[in-house]
Amino acid sequence: MGNMINIGVIGYGYWGPNLVRNFAEIPTAQVTKVSDFKPELLAKAQARYPTIQVTTDSRDIFKDPKIDAVVIATPVSTHFDLALAALQAGKHVLVEKPMTTSSEQAKRLIEEAEKRNLVLMVDHTFVYTGAVRKMHELITSKRLGDIYYYDSVRVNLGLFQHDVNVIWDLAVHDLSIMNYLLPSQPYAVSATGISHVPGEPENIAYLTLFFESNLIAHIHVNWLAPVKVRRTLIGGSQKMIVYDDLEPSEKVKIYDKGITVNGNSESVYQMLIGYRTGDMWSPQLDMTEALRTEGLHFINCIEQGSRPITDGEAGLRIVRILEAATESMRQRGQLVELNLAEVAV
């Protein structure tokens, strides 16, 4: 198996088993080592995959010369140190989202990966779903026309995190989808939110993102909702999308609805607005598990020396928005500039 990519996975808690399972099923890759500081989790990995080596010390992975790539599925506070150590050991890296706890850290990882010519990829899983890839195809082929707004709701009775607020936990999904789908980058954010448990991070938050064009984006996240909602509206000048991730099959619906605007020279203040309602269409989606598509993409980037869709720059942009949104939220909606062009390496 000379051309096999050997993978070490750090973290076998909630998400790690999914990563191991998917990489185990990719023909040109194999997971050779798993580390976790909890022995009982390693025992599970061992029982499931008898041929995989396990260790409580992640350094065993960095030191292993046979390992080509490291997958990091640990809490966000550890991402930077682990990813940096992996890159410095010459390993390609796939790291969980959010990439790091600060944009400074994210930049440092990007620099390290570029210097060493290594693949640095962030696990923005949703980007690899059939639904998001279909919407990307529709948007980039201009089927929606100009994009007017992106509005997403991601709420449920969710686990309250102690170390990160709800923006870092939930909005990161919406931001990574939005970053992939939209044709331009936001320049500023205004966010509001609140904590309902004294001393704990905010459990409900609202983010508005401003763009140079007449595009606006808004994200609502909440750990304390009675019902689960995963719904995104994307408004375009030609068509509009409703993306409901909880729908079992018709996750993406495209509406031939909108307005038509006729300028009127005599009255510039009173545009003639026409309303258009037409058919709705819900395309068949590729139902391949997103992590499989993503794993294949990571392996392919390593093999080809190419740049992943969700590369370090994408990870950095998301981290910068999370950072700025948290700052804005603590100032009750105060606009915070993102300077995404500047933060880029």
The position carrying tokens 């007017």 is 148
Which of these, 284, 282, 278, lies nearest to 238 by C-alpha position? 278
> Please, which residues have CB within 8 angstroms of residue 62's CB and are 6 or more apart in sequence?
70, 85, 86, 88, 89, 91
- Footprint on residues 28-47 left by a second copy (CB under 8 A): 47
Nearer to a second copy, 89 or 181 (CB): 181
Site string for a second copy, 201-240 (x = CB under 8 A): ---x-x-x-x---x-x-x-x-x-xxxxx----x-x-x--x
Site string for a second copy, 151-190 (x = CB under 8 A): x-x-x-x-xx-x-------------------------x-x
Among 21, 81, 84, 333, binds a second copy (CB under 8 A): 333
Among 148, 288, 292, 307, binds a second copy (CB under 8 A): 148
- Footprint on residues 45-74 left by a second copy (CB under 8 A): 47-48, 50
The rounded distance, in Å, linking the Cα atoms of 256 and 165 is: 37
Among 16, 186, 193, 308, binds a second copy (CB under 8 A): 193
Point out which span in 11-19, 53-61, 263-271, 297-305 binds a second copy (CB under 8 A): 263-271
> Please, which residues have CB within 8 angstroms of residue 219's CB and are 6 or more apart in sequence?
151, 152, 153, 154, 171, 174, 175, 178, 206, 207, 209
CB of 141 to a second copy, least distance (A): 16
Is residue 271 close enough to count as binding a second copy by CB under 8 A? yes
What are the Cα distances from residue 14, in Å, to 50, 51, 185? 20, 21, 31
Joined together, the tokens standing for residue 319 give 């981290």
